[in-house]
Amino acid sequence: MVADLAVQADGLVKSFGRVRAVDGVSLEVPRGAVYGMLGPNGAGKTTTVRLLTTLLRPDSGVALIDGIDVATDPASVRARIGLTGQYAAVEERLTPRENLALIGRLYQLEKRHISERSTELLARFDLEHAADRVVKEFSGGMRRRLDIAMSLIARPSVLFLDEPTTGLDPRSRLAMWELIEELGDDGTTVLLTTQYLDEADRLAERIVVIDTGVVIANGTADELKDQIGGDRLSVTIARRENVTRAIEALAPLCSGDVSVDAVGLRLSASIRSGDRVVPKAIRALDDAGVDVLDVEVRRPTLDDVFLQLTGHSADGEPDEEHGSGGVAS
Ligand SMILES: Nc1ncnc2c1ncn2[C@@H]1O[C@H](COP(=O)(O)OP(=O)(O)OP(=O)(O)O)[C@@H](O)[C@H]1O
Ligand SMILES: [Mg+2]
């Protein structure tokens, strides 16, 4: 094993009946990194996390946490990890402080230590004002924050966060991003799963893209975007009935197929190089009698990457011929 890897998985496979939920997943998370696992519903994210955190046994393959084999020494692995599952695991009838104490006792921490650490975590996760209210009264964002605080009580070296922001409103989501960034800055290794491209893009130093149990791409956000090759031309037209003419006019300027969004007004395609394409596109569309609202050249987004790799967008909607999905956010 390589010394500076916090998580190492090689060829993990897990089936449920006929469903191969995880189909040969390999990944390497460097120590101290925030690592993103990006994939749509049913991709196998939760199953992978459960395999890495000893909650499930793989049919085959190996997983190491801090170099310790999950299969042969699960107790040592559990002592080193924190897990915040996809669904909040907080006890409704207890207060945050009582929830933290419960987990602290499960980890067999000293009473005084639990109390000090709880105070610190409640402050950090902005729950001081609610420390003595029962969780039943909490909003989704407060529950999530408490859930993550609980997974940090024993100072894990590797923290697993399964969809930490799903179901949160935009403001809570932003607050959660800032928290995760702080954890990363503190040197905690974080493996987070997400179906949101913007989340992976913002938080994760490296991203593994997973679909139907298979890793389909792996790299930094920039590396993944570079795979698409070149920039994207994006054109908004005024009238839907012009879409076919617009596609025909743009096709010679593009290096791949021209895709159209669900509304039928926004077209996009890869281009070989950004320069001079905008005036050419405007001229070609004008010659074709297409009214244009906007033409721009931009770097590819992770959504473009996902669409190219899988033929469907990350929100799981199947791609129609020439139809591109929306950004999953
Ligand atoms: N306990 C189980 N029994 C049967 N099938 C399961 C079980 N857990 C997961 N699956 C199946 O395995 C596949 C992967 O599921 P998983 O929960 O890992 O996906 P996910 O990427 O976490 O999805 P989501 O984004 O919806 O949480 C799905 O087809 C799911 O139905
Ligand atoms: Mg899941």
Reported confidence tier of residue 311, pLDDT bands at 50, 70, 90: low
The answer to whether residue 275 is domain-embedded is yes
The closest ligand to the CA of 40 turns out to be 1
CA separation for the pair 186, 132 (Å, rounded):
28
- Token pair in block for residue 120: 């610190």
The answer to whether residue 238 is domain-embedded is yes
Are residues 172 and 298 located together in one domain of the fold?
no
Are residues 81 and 67 located together in one domain of the fold?
yes
Are residues 166 and 69 located together in one domain of the fold?
yes
| Contact (Cβ atoms closer than 8 angstroms) between residue 291 and residue 242 | yes
Pocket of ligand 1 (CB under 6 A): 16, 19, 21, 39, 41-47, 86, 195
Q: Which of 202, 225, 248 is the last residue of a domain?
A: 225
- Report DSSP state, residue 89: -
The answer to whether residue 64 is domain-embedded is yes
Which CATH number is 236's domain given?
3.30.70.100
Name the average pLDDT for the chain.
88
Nearest-Å Rg of the Cα atoms of the chain is 23
Are residues 68 and 180 located together in one domain of the fold?
yes
181 pLDDT above the threshold of 70:
yes
Are residues 33 and 118 located together in one domain of the fold?
yes
Nearest to 160 by CA among 180, 137, 138: 180
Q: How many domains does the chain have?
A: 2
Are residues 211 and 307 located together in one domain of the fold?
no
The answer to whether residue 329 is domain-embedded is no
**Tokens 């070296």 correspond to what residue?**
157
Residue 257: is it exposed, middle or buried by C-beta count within 10 angstroms (0-12/13-18/19+)?
middle
Are residues 160 and 243 located together in one domain of the fold?
no
- What pTM did the predictor assign? 0.81
The pLDDT tens digits of the residues spanning 212-261 come to: 999 999 999 888 887 776 788 999 999 999 999 999 999 998 888 888 88
Residue 263, CB half-sphere, CA atoms under 13 Å: how many?
10
146 pLDDT above the threshold of 50:
yes
C-alpha 291: how far from its chain's center?
38
Cα(3) to centroid of ligand 2, in Å? Answer: 29
- Quote the pLDDT of residue 230: 72
Are residues 188 and 245 located together in one domain of the fold?
no
Are residues 174 and 109 located together in one domain of the fold?
yes
Are residues 209 and 249 located together in one domain of the fold?
no
327 pLDDT above the threshold of 80:
no
Number of H helices, E strands in the chain: 11, 15
Q: Quick one: average pLDDT of 312-317?
A: 58
- Quote the pLDDT of residue 307: 73
Are residues 218 and 235 located together in one domain of the fold?
no
- Quote the pLDDT of residue 263: 82
The pLDDT tens digits of the residues spanning 52-108 come to: 999 999 999 999 999 999 999 999 999 999 999 887 788 999 999 999 999 999 888
The answer to whether residue 69 is domain-embedded is yes
CA separation for the pair 227, 13 (Å, rounded):
27
Q: Alpha helix locations (H) across the chain?
A: 45-52, 74-80, 96-106, 111-124, 140-151, 170-185, 197-203, 221-227, 243-250, 277-287, 302-310
156 pLDDT above the threshold of 80:
yes
More reliable by pLDDT, 228 or 127:
127
Kindly report the protein residue whose alpha carbon is nearest to atom 3 of ligand 1: 16
Residue type, 196: Y
1 pLDDT above the threshold of 70:
no
Q: Which of 197, 225, 253 is the last residue of a domain?
A: 225
More reliable by pLDDT, 171 or 326:
171
Kindly report the protein residue whose alpha carbon is nearest to atom 17 of ligand 1: 46
Q: Which of 38, 45, 49 to mutate to test the pocket of ligand 1 (most atoms within 8 A of CB)?
A: 45
Q: Which of 225, 255, 275 is the last residue of a domain?
A: 225
Which domain covers residue 94, as residue numbers? Answer: 5-225
The pLDDT tens digits of the residues spanning 8-62 come to: 999 999 999 999 999 999 999 999 999 999 998 899 999 999 999 999 999 999 9
Q: Which of 15, 47, 87, 197 to mutate to test the pocket of ligand 1 (most atoms within 8 A of CB)?
A: 47
- Quote the pLDDT of residue 314: 61
List C-alpha distances in Å: 38 to 5, 84, 194, 296: 20, 17, 5, 27
- Quote the pLDDT of residue 275: 64
Which CATH number is 43's domain given?
3.40.50.300
Which residues does residue 210 pair with via DSSP β-bridges, in sequence order?
215
- Quote the pLDDT of residue 323: 35
The backbone torsions φ and ψ at residue 146, rounded to the nearest 5 degrees and listed phi first, read: -65, -40
Kindly report the protein residue whose alpha carbon is nearest to atom 16 of ligand 1: 44
Are residues 134 and 121 located together in one domain of the fold?
yes
